[in-house]
Amino acid sequence: MRESGRIWLGIFLMLILTISKTPAQNIWSDVSLDRNSAYVGQPIEVTISVYTSTWFTQGLDIGNIKVNGAFTVYFRPVTTSYTEDGVTYSGVKQIYHVFPYTEQDITFPELDIVVESPAPGEYKGRKQTVKTQPKPIRVKPRPSKFSESDWLVASGMSVTERWTGIAGNPDGKKVKVGDVLERSISRTVAGTVSELIPPIAWDSVEHVSLYPSRSEVNNNKTKTEISASRTDHISYLFEKEGEVVFPEVVLTWYNPYRNQLYKRTLKEIRVQVEPNPDLGMLASVRDSLAAQQDELAKEDLLEDKPFTILGISPEKFVALSVGVVLVFIFLIRVLRKMITMQKKRRASYLASELYYFHEFKKSLASKDDKSIASKLYRWLDALDLEQPSATYFAKRYGSATLQDQVAEMESKWDNGGQFSALDWKEWESARKNYLKRGVVLKTGWINPV
């Protein structure tokens, strides 16, 4: 017996050692930032890494990530691997750039990443979900010497200017009152998104009406870099003769990597405006430009105004509709339950002693002895009486008056006579005396006292 026990113990220990040597699957994720603080508009590179001790049977698809208070741009995946303690781990990195647009601190959110990878010794992938930790990011306020409307973080910017109209390039040219010049300033900015490029702040010009039009914006992204462009347009309507001076336009950007401010200046433009005898044309052009402004304002209002259903957002409408449907379903169920309960109560009532007692009461009004006798004894039959007779009931639970009435009634009925002078209150009082005993009736209906 001792030798047998040693053998089984050895087998058990070998099994434990075999299991302990079986490599366990190890999957984990990590989120790293290239910086923990940034200015408004300064990109933070976020790298999301996922590793497995085997391999990935499907690519990772994290998708778009929403960061409150920031724009998020996905760049590219990068495959990687490393070896530790003799085990090689396969990894995939997903790279994003996050651009804060508010001076409030932001948080890169925690993520639930679905990974498909086989366990060691297997070949079929198993789906698992790994969680990442949220990453706080401190947003530094812009330096006080910069206005919010001029603040732009970029690694570089190019600027082009174009004038169109009857005068072409207006510098040194002559125009007449009522003429219109169109001006465009285009900026191509490296290291940002178009939403962060501030619009041109057009300076007012004496004796000239300004009519800005819609800007054109675009984002350009490669696997490693992003840039954006913005073109702002304006129309100038000359309304009085004389020299008109368009002041210089100074465009600035801040390079956080060099901690340096850059500026680009578009030089001042002078235009000589000649008189125009046809002043009616001035009014016509003014009206046309004003109409164009109204149309642009309406289009902008439609674009800015969120889509609504019955005055509320689609999300709220869906939530409200779901709530209404759920309430309606609940009410239907409650109504069905009430109807079912009412039917059961009705069916129970129709089989109860109380129902037959009410039928007996109705028969008294008919003055028909046959009906009275039938209803009376049907009710007495529903009671738990040792003797289901009117005489027994009256003697056991009724008053002397009721007993006399029943005796007279039975006597006349036995002799073929009629007797309808039953006192309802006496029967009701006797029934109460009966119910005080708490008797369970034959039908199972328990009447209240």
Please state the φ and ψ torsions of residue 288, each to the nearest 5 degrees: -65, -45
Could you give the CA distance from residue 212 to residue 321 in angstroms, rounded to a whole number? 43
Give the tokens for residue 310.
């019955």
CATH 2.60.40 fits 25-140, yes or no: yes
User: Reduced to 3 states, what is the DSSP secondary structure of residue 208?
Assistant: strand
DSSP string, 185-223: EEEEEESS-GGGSPPP-PPP-TTEEEEEEEEEEEEEE-S
Give the tokens for residue 304.
């800015």
**H/E run at residue 190:** strand 180-190
Could you give the CA distance from residue 239 to residue 327 in angstroms, rounded to a whole number? 65
Q: What is the CATH number of domain 156-304?
A: 2.60.40
**Stated pTM of the model:** 0.59
Whole-number pLDDT of residue 148 = 77
Whole-number pLDDT of residue 138 = 95
Could you give the CA distance from residue 162 to residue 73 in angstroms, rounded to a whole number? 31
Please state the φ and ψ torsions of residue 35, each to the nearest 5 degrees: -160, 155
Whole-number pLDDT of residue 139 = 94
Q: What is the pLDDT along the chain (449 residues), one digit of tens a residue?
A: 455 555 555 555 454 444 333 344 578 888 999 999 999 999 999 999 999 888 888 877 787 889 999 999 988 888 888 888 888 888 899 999 999 998 899 999 999 888 888 888 777 888 888 889 999 999 998 887 777 778 899 999 999 999 887 544 555 567 888 888 889 999 999 999 999 999 998 988 988 988 888 889 999 988 888 999 999 999 998 888 888 889 999 999 999 888 888 999 999 988 888 888 776 666 666 666 666 766 666 665 555 555 556 556 666 777 788 888 888 888 888 888 888 888 888 888 888 888 888 888 888 777 777 788 888 888 888 888 888 888 888 888 888 888 888 888 888 777 766 665 677 888 888 888 888 875 444 444 444 43
Whole-number pLDDT of residue 169 = 52
Whole-number pLDDT of residue 445 = 42
Whole-number pLDDT of residue 7 = 55
The reply to whether 25-140 and 156-304 are identical in fold is yes
The domain ranges of the chain are 25-140, 156-304, 306-339, 351-435
Q: Which of 443, 447, 432, 449 is nearest to 347 (CA)?
A: 443
Please state the φ and ψ torsions of residue 56, each to the nearest 5 degrees: -95, 130
